[in-house]
Amino acid sequence: MICKNCGFEIKDENIKFCPACGAPTSPESQVNDPNLVVTNGKNPILAAILSFFIVGLGQIYLGLTKKGIILFIAAVVSGILTLFIIGWILWLIVWGYAIYDAYNSANKMNMGVGVQDTIDFNDL
Kindly state whether residues 40 and 2 are assigned to the same domain: no
Q: Give the three-state DSSP class for 119.
A: coil
Q: Give the three-state DSSP class for 2.
A: strand
Kindly state whether residues 80 and 117 are assigned to the same domain: yes
Average pLDDT over residues 30-51: 74
Kindly state whether residues 64 and 108 are assigned to the same domain: yes
Kindly state whether residues 58 and 20 are assigned to the same domain: no
Q: Is 76 exposed, middle or buried (0-12, 13-18, 19+ CB in 10 A)?
A: middle
pTM of the model: 0.69
Kindly state whether residues 42 and 7 are assigned to the same domain: no
Kindly state whether residues 16 and 46 are assigned to the same domain: no
Average pLDDT over residues 116-123: 72
The per-residue pLDDT for 4 is 73
State the total domains in the chain. Answer: 2
What residues make up the domain containing 72?
Answer: 34-123
pLDDT, tens digit (0-9, with 9 covering 90-100), for 12-25? 777 777 777 667 77
pLDDT category, 122, cuts 50, 70, 90? low
Kindly state whether residues 8 and 60 are assigned to the same domain: no
